[in-house]
Amino acid sequence: MARVLLLVPSATYRAADFVAAAKAIGAEIVVASDVPPVIPDATGTRSIAIPLDEPEAAARAIVELDGRRGVDAVVALDDRGVLVAARAAAHLGLPHNSPEAVGRTRDKEAMRDALASGEVPQPRYAAFNDPADVVGLLEAIGGGPCVVKPVGLSASQGVIRADDAVAAIAAAERAQTIAGGGRLLVEEYVAGSEVAVEGLLRDSTLEVLAVFDKPDPMEGPYFEETIYVTPSRLPGPVLDQISRATADACASIGLTEGPIHAELRVDGIRLWILEVAARSIGGLCARALRFGAGISLEEVILRHALGMSLDGLEREAMASGVMMIPISRAGTLRAVGGRDGALAVQGIVGLEITIPPGRAVAPLPDGDRYLGFVFARASTPAEVEGALRAAHAALTITIT
């Protein structure tokens, strides 16, 4: 029986879906996390504790485990595990991205430099340390408006639009505070709609699995994602251009193997790469995707990692989508009502509230979590979008 080691940060949403996917393909599971190991449960799932924030030490622990039990694949669920997975796979001789390439996806400055070397279309940018220095860099990126962000955070945390020099300094100070210090980027703000690309690299060749439209405007001052809908409603030639640009971005960064998630801005026939991550889509959003005879994205990822067949990889014919339920204000979540009404909306196929009552919540740019996820399937992307909006309108969210 094949054995797959799952790198599971303690704060991830995705453990259950990956465990279910491993069981669906008949693989034995070992969960490696940054929390102490637990006694094997009734299903036989084993766990070990590794330091996810110390990639080389974590990789050595995985190599030691391989010596005792054998490991056939190492799969990271979220950003915190991708560098550990690359280092461990390199030591074990498994197909992998180079640790250097994965490191570029975890450092926005390094990623921008790699994209620039490959002449991949992206916003003009500059890096700096002192928030006061941002004013002198604005001219180099075309003036305002601009976007300021920490180089090391993800999921739009700390990402702030500023329209003039005074606002840029304030944005840089706030972004640096959110990140706990460190280096910042200032980028030109590019207008247009956003799309997300879900793909799989196989021996340096990118296979685009899905392109999601983001129908809500992403204009700032913060960039909270809400609705993803696929298939995209963009014209075929533009989708081809998106696929080529994403493949060029992966090649410039040096990614060659496994899942990727990319974010792009599109304005007519122009586009810009915003982000490339060496992992699949975050949160529970992967539940919006089904392939072949109904297999999940997690199963696709595990099959690829284990060298299993990926015949019939095309996405299902129905339109689908997900809404990441936004947090409207900082405070304490008291209750989420109206769930039955939301689930009764035609086309809605699931609703998960991922923050329990009594927990503190914060919106972007400070927060790093969503309130939950709503899922829809329908005949057309427009019907999916309408169902998600209607379901969200049915919810009553109390934050004090």
Q: What is the per-residue pLDDT for 69?
A: 86
Residue for token pair 């739009």: 156
Report yes or no on 391 lying in a domain: yes
Which tokens go with 400? 């004090």
For residue 381, being part of any structural domain is answered with yes
Which pLDDT score is estimated for 311? 83
158 and 81 assigned to the same domain: no
Residue 227 lies in a domain: no
Task: Give me the CATH number covering residue 17.
Answer: 3.40.50.20
Of 188, 205, 230, the domain-final residue: 188
Distance CA(362)–CA(78), nearest Å, equals 21
In the listed set 159, 188, 217, which residue is the last one of a domain according to the structure? 188
Residue 385 belongs to domain with CATH number: 3.90.1170.60
Same domain for 330 and 376, yes or no, is: yes
Residues 129 and 92 in one domain: no
Q: Which two tokens stand for residue 69?
A: 């039990």
Residue-wise pLDDT tens digits, 235-293: 999 999 999 999 999 999 999 999 999 999 999 989 999 999 999 999 999 999 999 87
Which segments of 107-191 does DSSP mark as H helices, in order?
108-117, 134-137, 165-179
Amino acid 103 reads: G
Please indicate, yes or no, whether residues 35 and 93 belong to a single structural domain of this protein: yes
360: containing domain: 318-400
91 with 131, same domain?
Answer: no
* 79 and 128 inside one domain: no
Last residue of a domain, one of 97, 113, 138: 97
Pair (129, 81) in one structural domain: no
If asked whether residues 346 and 391 sit together in one domain, one would say yes
What span, in angstroms and rounded, lies between the C-alpha atoms of 5 and 163?
A: 46
Sequence-distant (≥ 6) Cβ neighbours of residue 136 within 8 angstroms: none
237 assigned to some structural domain = no
Do 93 and 128 share a structural domain? Answer: no
Which residues of the chain carry a pLDDT beneath 50?
Answer: 38-40, 42-43
- Residues 229 and 321: beta-carbon distance below 8 Å: yes
11 and 86 in a single domain? The answer is yes
61 and 8 housed in the same domain: yes
CA of residue 396 relative to chain centroid, distance:
27
Q: What is the reported pLDDT for 44?
A: 58
279, part of any domain: no
Q: What is the pLDDT of residue 39?
A: 42
Q: What one-character-per-residue DSSP string does 186-197 give?
A: EEE---SEEEEE
Q: How many domains does the chain have?
A: 3
What is the strand order of the sheet 331-337 is part of?
Answer: 360-361, 331-337, 396-399
In a domain, 382, yes or no: yes
Is residue 288 within 8 A of residue 228, CB to CB? The reply is: yes
116 located within any domain: no
Specify the CATH number for the domain of residue 144.
3.30.1490.20
Cβ neighbours of 381 (radius 10 Å):
19
163 and 90 in one domain?
no
Structural domain includes residue 117? no
